[in-house]
Chains A and B, each alone.
Chain A
Amino acid sequence: NAGVTQTPKFQVLKTGQSMTLQCAQDMNHEYMSWYRQDPGMGLRLIHYSVGAGITDQGEVPNGYNVSRSTTEDFPLRLLSAAPSQTSVYFCASSFQGANGYTFGSGTRLTVV
């Protein structure tokens, strides 16, 4: 099915561990973004990309890295997990943004 695929759906990490959240889309969308959702704070933009090889920081980029080597994939790396990174993470993609973004099903991450 066409759409945005995020893996894993759930993850528990220990403080200091690193991991990569995977995001792939098969709609040939140029724009991709990562958000984190915390209670009472809505969705906050972490990093975004407007095409392969181009990334930029959003509102809350600290502690996260991204790269965009292909149009389809946009992984999010947690360098050294901290309890403050406990959250639900969403990946989203769009053709040009005007028609809105399509979201993945999210990853619930707990850092202990």
Chain B
Amino acid sequence: AQTVTQSQPEMSVQEAETVTLSCTYDTSESDYYLFWYKQPPSRQMILVIRQEAYKQQNATENRFSVNFQKAAKSFSLKISDSQLGDAAMYFCAGSRSYNTDKLIFGTGTRLQVFP
């Protein structure tokens, strides 16, 4: 079984500052994929970044980067130079790598960005 845990229901950050959202992914699989999705007020689910568990290098997409600690089952999202448009719900999700038929989500973190 896979479980995804996001322990921060809400976070806030000042514009231009850096914020880190936490996630833990517990699975018995040795290989898997991890994702962060953004859901703005429009309700649309937007893929922000993905990480393959077997890769040592942490993924980066512009201002978004992850800190993946496999042994600790930790998969945090760092947002640098926060912008007002980053305000949204952020969901962590994971799927096994050999048969990625199911994507399991955490409960989400609401990020507020203050000017």
**Chain A binding surface SS class:** strand
Q: Which of B11-19, B44-52, B67-75, B80-88 contacts A (4 or more CB under 8 A)?
A: B44-52
Choose among A31, A58, A106 the residue that contacts B100 (Cβ–Cβ < 8 A). A31
Residues of A within 8 A of B47 (CB): 100-102
Q: Are B102 and A103 in contact (CB under 8 A)?
A: no
How many residues on B have C-beta within 8 angstroms of the other chain's C-beta atoms? 26
Q: Which of A62-70, A77-85, A88-96 contacts B (4 or more CB under 8 A)?
A: A88-96
With A43-B105, A45-B102, A97-B101 already in contact, the answer to whether A103 and B45 are too (CB < 8 A) is: yes
Interface: A50 (CB within 8 A): yes
A97 and B33 contact, CB distance less than 8 A: yes
Number of A-B contacts (CB under 8 A): 60
Residues on A facing B (Cβ under 8 Å): 31, 33, 35, 40-45, 48, 50, 56, 58, 88, 90, 92, 94, 96-103, 105-106
19 contacts between A and B (CB under 8 A): A31-B100, A35-B105, A41-B107, A42-B4, A42-B6, A42-B91, A42-B106, A44-B105, A48-B102, A56-B101, A58-B102, A88-B43, A90-B45, A92-B45, A94-B103, A100-B33, A100-B50, A105-B43, A106-B44
